Structure 1
Amino acid sequence: MLVLTDPALETAEEGPVTIEDWVDETYGSGRAVLGDRLRPAGEAKTVRRRKGEVIVSDGPFAEAHELIGGFDVLECDSLDEAVEVASRHPMAAAGIIQLHPAWPLDL
């Protein structure tokens, strides 16, 4: 689950619960296992390798209008359950939440 800012949003709604309550209910139930806020975009680096050369630039890639502010790793039984969990996050009302199902690495 990616937590993003929404530059098009003029007035943020209040979420159904506070971030503290969301963390307590989501991490407390075991449906979230890892997460944190990210440092500001100005402290980020973008790394590419092209034709054997490593190219490093400041900040997120230029096309990004929304900035990733944080993430949470959810463990839900279904995508519908993940949507329900994400919909209660305060940033679903004040920003954008993206859900990206993951493929486990078979190591």
Structure 2
Amino acid sequence: VSSADWGVNYSDSHICALKDSSVIMSCTYTYPTGYQIIKVFWTKGPVEHPDPPDLSVDPECSQRLQYLEDKQQNCTIRLSNVTHQDSHMYYFRFITDKENGKWTGKQGVSLTVT
């Protein structure tokens, strides 16, 4: 399996948002044939974290985070009522049924809240 079969493509690399507004972050992802997706989620940096936290269960974000797509190849989220504390790098990660079948889109999305 080559790394060319794996990928995350972000729509935007940088988003600037006003405090209390809503932000949409979206990406598409690809993975090799024969793999089954177990979990997909957005996380925030650092990207090197071996087991990055899922934002949808993060107490700071869970009530404000909504997935807008079916998570099949497209993972668009809306983060509502953003604050300065939400200014971070955000990354999309997916996990498959194979032992080494995990992938984080290292490019990420930089969110700046003003």
TM-score by structure 1 length? 0.33
Higher relative CO (Cα under 8 Å, sequence separation at least 6) belongs to: 1
Going by fraction, where is helix more abundant, 1 or 2? Answer: 1
Q: Who wins on radius of gyration, i.e. which is larger?
A: 1
